[in-house]
Amino acid sequence: MHLCHHALCCFVPPYMAETLQDSDDPAVRQIALASLGNEYRTARRLLSAQPLSASLLGQVAGKERYVFDMRGASDPLPGNLLRREGDRPVDDEAANEAYDYSGDVYDFYKDVFDRDSLDDAGLPLRSSIHVGDTFGSSMSNAFFNGKQMAYGDGDGTLFTRFTRSLDVVGHELTHGVVSFTSDLDYFGESGALNESFADVMGSLISQWKYNQTAAQADWYIGKDILGPGASIRGVRTLTGQKAYANDPNFGTDPQPKHYRDRYTGTRDRGGVHINSGIPNHAFYLAAIAIGGYAWEKAGKIWYITLKSALSRSATFEEAATATIAIAAQLYGNESEEQTAVRSAWEQVGVV
């Protein structure tokens, strides 16, 4: 198993790999040690991508998907073309999941926000599946490298294939939306906001797909990628709870839900995967207070904020101020929606 934990926008955070390294289970420790030893070489190997032929660059607006297979492919990404827009399903579950779920992400952004792909100009959605390291181990993660998606198959025990989860696909492709909008710097509070927008939109895409109201959704992220040996409910949660606690393998979820409890160290690029729990919970509180379908009002406020109201180095306070102002622009000053947004940020200690 290989867990990438570098500057790429990875779904499984580095603190999980570090905790697995301290597991009481020797097999789990060995998995983590192998992962930590190989991750830097694998990261450098996958950071670049092969130039795409003109036929794969995308010539017109609209949904356009490509799925590549890294098994038996020479490095770097993307691999061997397996399925393209309009092709029938292939005999590979991961390929069909990557194809279908990236289509759902496209449809969500188009139908809900009238956005044409990640760049709002029909950028083709490219996915590489069965990504692993040079030693034959499958990657237990998914990432967006600035050009495309890459998915590992997991170790089969703690993690299964990463194409199985719509919220994971939505999370990672939203990193692409971030890069074409506010382009939040991937460090400190701006990096935590980057991760939070990806979590929020990943959750909303799943809720939209399955027609769930804010009250009906469970607000867990990554539950579908957990393998039979994992006893936790999800990788993260936007609720006020811990996603997991005192787990023999994963330990306790370190994400804070209040600004006073924020991580201030240098790990995880200044806590981008850790402190994202604070704005995540603010969104959850706002969505629950507003009610109904979370993508219709709370999601719209957050999307417009991401699209047009943040600098690359935005702080939590700046994000709070922007969402409160945009709620007023959309629904009126002192409206129920603005009051819900302001209260949410107050409850997490940001304003």
CA 307 vs. chain centroid, Å, equals 17
201, 174 in Cβ contact below 8 A?
Answer: yes
Residue 145 buriedness (CB in 10 A; 0-12 / 13-18 / 19+): buried
Which residues are CB-neighbours of 267 under 8 A, at least 6 positions away? 14, 15, 274
Helical H runs in the chain? Answer: 14-21, 26-47, 93-113, 166-179, 188-209, 267-271, 277-290, 298-308, 316-331, 336-347
My answer on whether omega of the bond before 76 falls inside 30° of 0, hence cis, is yes
* 258: exposed, middle or buried (Cβ count in 10 Å: 0-12, 13-18, 19+): middle
Q: Is 175 a catalytic residue?
A: no
Q: What is the DSSP string of 102-171?
A: HHHHHHHHHHHH---TTTTS---EEEEES-B-TTSPBBS-EEE-SS-EEE----SSSB--GGG-HHHHHH
Catalytic site residue from 273, 281, 318, 337: 273
From 64, 172, 189, 337, active-site residue: 172
Q: Which of 52, 63, 155 is nearest to 118 (CA)?
A: 63
Phi and psi, residue 251, nearest 5°:
75, -135
Active site residue 273: yes
CA–CA distance from 273 to each of 59, 64, 172, 300 (Å)? 35, 30, 13, 23
d(CA 231, CA 250): 9
Rounded to an integer, what distance in angstroms lies between the CA atom of residue 341 and that of residue 321?
A: 10
Distance CA 97, CA 67 (A): 10
What whole-number distance in Å separates Cα of residue 205 and Cα of residue 170?
A: 6
**Active-site annotation, residues:** 172, 273
